Amino acid sequence: MVLAAVKDDLAALATAIRACRLSPVDLVARCLRRIQATEPGLHAFIHVDGEGALAAARQREQEARRGEIRGPLHGIPIAVKDLFDQAGLPTTAGAAIRRSHRAAEHATAVRRLLDAGAVVIGKTNLHEFAFGVTSINPHFGAVANPWDRERIAGGSSGGSGAAVAAGMCAAALGTDTGGSIRIPAALCGIVGLKPTLGRVSRHGVVPLAWSFDTVGPMARTVRDAGLLLSVLAGPDPNDPLTVHYGPFTAALPAPPSSFRVGRLRGPLFDEGLDDQVGAALERACDLLARAGGRVTSVTVETAAAGQAAQTAILFAEASAYHLRAYPGRLAEYGADVRELLAAGATIPATAYVDAQRVQGVVVAQTRRVLEEVDLLICAAVPIPAPRIDEVDPARGDGWRRARGPLSRLTRFFNLTGLPALSLPVGRTREGLPIGVQLASAPGNEARLLGVAAVLEAAVDWTLPELAD
Amino acid sequence: MDVQRLLAEQQILVDDETLRAVEEWRRAWLREWERVRAFDLRDEDLPAPLWCWPP
């Protein structure tokens, strides 16, 4: 058995590298051995840049010996969802039609990781073009869940989720348009943070739906997610949405001594919850109350209508992008994404406008709720990870039935643009991770991470050594 | 509106199986859309990007 390459958090790794107690070359080599041992069963990566990562690690090591530390991620191996450009490497977006693509420059998020000293170890597998929540990819393989190889890792950032959970890298980059960071984080037992829309530049990232596309970290701990956000966040002239927020400097926020948590109630949040997921959510609320939180029930009356609005906006934008970027090539897509893109083209312009008007109403109602509480809580994914054979488009239409439930609870936070985080809080009887979602007001990631750290400590979750 | 014609007008060619699936998707979406249709939108409810987006 090749043990997980990474067990310490990012700050501990960085401290050890700075003090020359840990060699970046050894760390990267351990990750590569772990990838070699686990990848055949996981399909977490599309491209492993072994040579490039080792060369970068050697440089970081020499720099560390000279006391030249580039930043808080100096020498730390990070995986990047294959939706981000990294100069010289392919950005397939998980699609056969982009196999020959080569990026000319770095995506802003990748550049910021590299400037902070990170070593990019490879590009992770995903649902084709990020348009799906299973990461069953017809071109690059189905990403398996490290906790049970017969189950999905979730998506669309499934490769990033599996790679972090299996200890193949220290952390990973993901994107989230309807839950694509938080769903795999919940199903793989790691922390996934979707920052406020506009916090992190999307420049150099293949789009899915501009109104919702968000870049964020996937990590082992809340503290790691905060550290990564501090590296990633900040204005970028190449992404006009980022002008609204400054850099994120509260990487390790002190836990608040008291806070108000609104437990989201209503049909959207209460119906269809697996019993074990519901019990885990109850326990999380109890733990927050014991840690000084005041937990009350809150409702957003328009949340259910908002789901239909989010579908209309996301599908129409995805279809608009793809039909222009790859005209006449739908037949080369996987069956599910082909169907969804054609479906999006049937949404009338009047529905798109009405959906944006409903979005405004939902945003306003949610803002009012957030005047009464500091944070919102609900489950992350209402069901445990389905089996791959049950939701593989090549084996039937189970994927259509699973798509709605898997993203049901995450999409609300894309529609409202709030920062939202999935945190592991327990396991099912079968041993599969269960996550809860916390969200805060726009731009208040510091409060979100602070309370998430309180819950994380109360849950006492440790990512175990998962088998090869 | 007929889905096949709607797709053809946009020069989107799909096989029969995909066409049937899209027709089914659209029926389901129209059922879901009823929630929005029934929504009490006032004249002053502007599209989010005009006043509150990004958040």
**Does some domain include residue B34?**
yes
DSSP secondary structure string for all residues of B5-55: HHHHHTT----HHHHHHHHHHHHHHHHHHHHHHTS---TT---GGGTT---
Candidate from A190-194, A378-382, B33-37 with smallest mean pLDDT:
B33-37
Dihedral sign, CA of A70, A76, A77, A80? negative
Q: Which of residues 53-112 of A touch B (CB under 8 A)?
A: none
**Residue-number span of the structural domain to which B26 is assigned:** 3-40
pLDDT at A427: 95
For residue A411, the domain's CATH number is 3.90.1300.10
Model confidence pLDDT, tens digit, residues A275-311:
999 999 999 999 999 999 999 999 999 999 999 999 9
Instruction: List residues of A with catalytic annotation.
Output: 81, 156, 180
Cβ contact, residue pair A360, B52, below 8 Å: yes
CB A159 within 8 A of CB A171: no
**Tally of structural domains, chain A:** 1
**Does some domain include residue B32?**
yes
CA-to-CA distance for A338 and A360, rounded, in angstroms?
30
Residue A65: CA count within 13 A, CB half-sphere: 8
CA-to-CA distance for A247 and A317, rounded, in angstroms?
28
Please give the share of chain A, as a percent, with pLDDT higher than 70: 98
**Does some domain include residue B48?**
no
Question: Nearest-CA neighbor of B18 among A346, A372, A221?
Answer: A346
Model confidence pLDDT, tens digit, residues A54-68:
999 999 999 999 999
Q: Is the pLDDT of residue A7 over 90?
A: no
Residues from chain A that touch B25, judged by Cβ atoms under 8 A, are 339-340, 343
Q: How far is A313 from chain B (nearest CA, A)?
A: 11
CA-to-CA distance for A302 and A266, rounded, in angstroms?
10
Residues from chain A that touch B43, judged by Cβ atoms under 8 A, are none
pLDDT at A313: 98
Model confidence pLDDT, tens digit, residues A103-138:
999 999 999 999 999 999 999 999 999 999 999 999
**Does some domain include residue A8?**
no
Residue A12: CA count within 13 A, CB half-sphere: 8
Amino acid identity of A250? A
Residue A123: CA count within 13 A, CB half-sphere: 25
**Tally of structural domains, chain B:** 1
The interface predicted TM-score (ipTM) is: 0.97
Q: If residue A293 lies in a helix (H) or strand (E), which one and from where to where?
A: strand A293-299
Q: How far is B8 from chain A (nearest CA, A)?
A: 10
**Does some domain include residue B24?**
yes
**Does some domain include residue A35?**
yes
CA-to-CA distance for A311 and A301, rounded, in angstroms?
18
Cβ contact, residue pair A417, B53, below 8 Å: yes
3-state secondary structure of A467: coil
**Does some domain include residue A7?**
no
**Residue-number span of the structural domain to which A338 is assigned:** 17-459
**Does some domain include residue B16?**
yes
pLDDT at A460: 82
CB A191 within 8 A of CB A225: yes
Residue B50: both structure tokens together: 């005009």
**Does some domain include residue B14?**
yes
Q: Report, in angstroms and rounded to the nearest whole number, the Rg of chain A calculated over CA atoms.
A: 20
Other beta carbons within 10 Å of B48: 26
Residues from chain A that touch B10, judged by Cβ atoms under 8 A, are 323, 345
Other beta carbons within 10 Å of A207: 20
Q: Does pTM top 0.90 for this prediction? A: yes
Other beta carbons within 10 Å of A443: 19
Q: How far is A288 from chain B (nearest CA, A)?
A: 27
Which residue numbers of B have CB closer than 8 Å to A's CBs?
Answer: 3, 6-7, 10-15, 18-19, 21-22, 25-26, 29, 32-33, 35-36, 38-39, 41, 45-55
Cβ contact, residue pair B33, A351, below 8 Å: yes
Q: Is the pLDDT of residue A203 over 80?
A: yes
CA-to-CA distance for A211 and A317, rounded, in angstroms?
8
